[in-house]
Chain A
Amino acid sequence: MANVVVVTSGKGGVGKTTSTASLGAALAKTGQNVCVVDFDVGLRNLDLMLGAERRVVYDLINVIQGNAKLAQALIRDKRLDTLSLLPASQTRDKDALTEKGVARVMKQLREKFDWIICDSPAGIERGAILAMRHADTAVIVTNPEISSVRDSDRIIGMLDSKTERAESGGDIEKHLLIARYDASRIARAEMLGVDDVLDILSVPLLGIVPESEEVLRASNLGAPVTLSNPVCAAARAYQDAARRLTGEAVAMSVPRDRRNLFGKLFGGKAA
């Protein structure tokens, strides 16, 4: 049965689009059929991260308004034929997304794919709510800092009240993905630790993605890091997270701060 996942956060710039592309590619590599959907109308990014920006002809809004068939708008990845993209419109505004239209497209996508991963826009407005509306599962992306964590908390409240599942009395499955984890900054108490974040949000942890140059390099190459450099730490974190999404139990490791470890050996005085 198809699984609709929303990747959401509340706060902007925390790594939703990066995570959508990386998790999508990691799942697709295992042979499952995956569609990533860009809900960030007017600020589309997912096409860039997948290197598909020149291949966009029709988009989600065209399909919703009946100007294109779903099959015409879907873009199949050149490297992985199990991965498809449904791009957002860059020229329209969010009002073009209608509740009914989104419901119809999601239903059609469920018939075609095993995984539908929706990249939510930032914020708590209409666009973010439409992106989460039909989800079975939510991946809440958080950076280990207080404003991001608080916004995530806010979004979790909305997942529990504004989604179809919640409204029909059910439960949406929630996972926390900590992104841009910087062990050295946490050691210097400039950022929250994993335990603090988990304590505040009380949602099970899907993975910890370290702050990584490789992620930036990958997005400049137009490839998710799980394709461009599958052995780097960030890619491995996304691959493990994808396996956990499918229900597999994979041991979790917290990225360590080497400098801090070194410092501890010398009396904890690392400056």
Chain B
Amino acid sequence: MVSVAHSRSPFRFHGRSFMAFVLAPDLPFDDWLIELDAQLKRSPGFFTGRPVVLDLARLNLAKPDVAGLMAQLQARGVRIIAVEGVETSWLGPGLAPLPGGSRPAGVIDLAERKAAEQPAEPEPDKPASLLLDQPVRSGQSVVFADGDLTILGHVASGAEVVAGGSIHIYGTLRGRAIAGSAGNPGARIFCSSLEAELLAIDGLYRTIDEIDDHLRGQPVQAWLEGNALVLAARP
């Protein structure tokens, strides 16, 4: 888990496939906020459009502390979608409980988490692409951190595909596709028919509600232009 106090840059987070950053503040908050401001100065708009999970589990906080911290973060344009480690009754409306359903099941995620924590040994002959000739079923999570992911079948509603590089789906994308997961703004997502629940590239995301109706069911390509996730129908 990335904690701001321990790693100055970047704030990028891996290991939980739900596309949110986890901020784990340290005490005293004033110092931590100074560091946060420094980070925001280096890259303004860093949090634009990115959901953030606030992890307070390691701290023993009173209710007013939490409220104060939330106000500080909101003032900086940080969009908190969930808070971990405090009583839910403390939180105002508009804060989702942690979306448990987004946690992938199974070993793949653990393997990825491990990889994210210890990126030490370089493995030169790792394949840069992975091909799946089976559909990805609801509840399944395919994580390929090392490169491009190609899926010949569908990605079901409730399924999730995550790639360090680009994602190519020859079937219908009904679930989530998360490309550039290791911080690659050049990654793209292609699918033969778009019914996605969520698309994300390098941490910027769009949910189904933010996808134009006229793109539904169309072959679509998604990429990043600056700080915007752009979608367009493919010919």
Contacts and interface: CB of A to CB of B under 8 A. Distances in A.
A101 B157 CA distance: 36
A154 B138 contact: yes
B134 interface: yes
B156 A200 contact: yes
Given A154-B158, A200-B154, A160 B137 contact: yes
A157 B140 contact: yes
Interface residues of B, number: 15
A202 B154 contact: yes
Contacts of A146: 157
Interface of B is mostly: loop
A156 B172 contact: no
A150 B154 CA distance: 13
A146 B158 CA distance: 12
Interface string B152-182: 0110111100000000000110100000000
A154 B105 CA distance: 12
B172 A199 contact: yes
Nearest to B172: A199
A157 B108 CA distance: 15
B153 A157 contact: no
Interface string A177-215: 000000000000000000000011010000000000000
A153 B172 contact: no
A153 B153 contact: no
B174 A157 contact: no
Contact of A154 (B135, B137, B154, B171): B137
B154 A160 contact: no
Interface residues of A, number: 12
Contacts of B154: 199-200, 202
Nearest to B154: A202
A156 B139 CA distance: 10
Interface of A is mostly: helix
Contacts of B171: 202
A154 B138 CA distance: 5
Given A200-B154, A200-B156, A202-B154, A157 B139 contact: yes
A157 B137 contact: yes
Contacts of B158: 150, 153-154
Contacts of A202: 135, 153-154, 171
Interface string A124-162: 100000000000000000000010001101101100100
A150 B134 CA distance: 16
Contacts of A199: 154, 172
B139, B153, B159 pick with most chain A CB within 10 angstroms? B139
B153 A150 contact: no
Given A153-B156, A157-B138, 18 more contacts: A124-B139, A150-B138, A150-B157, A153-B139, A153-B159, A154-B158, A156-B137, A157-B137, A157-B139, A157-B140, A160-B134, A199-B172, A200-B156, A200-B157, A200-B174, A202-B135, A202-B153, A202-B171
Interface of A: 124, 146, 150-151, 153-154, 156-157, 160, 199-200, 202
Q: Which 9 A-B pairs have the closest CB atoms?
A: A157-B137, A153-B138, A154-B138, A154-B139, A153-B156, A153-B137, A157-B140, A150-B138, A202-B135
25 contacts: A146-B157, A150-B138, A150-B156, A150-B157, A150-B158, A153-B139, A153-B158, A153-B159, A154-B137, A154-B139, A154-B158, A156-B137, A157-B138, A157-B139, A157-B140, A160-B134, A160-B137, A199-B154, A199-B172, A200-B154, A200-B157, A200-B174, A202-B135, A202-B153, A202-B154
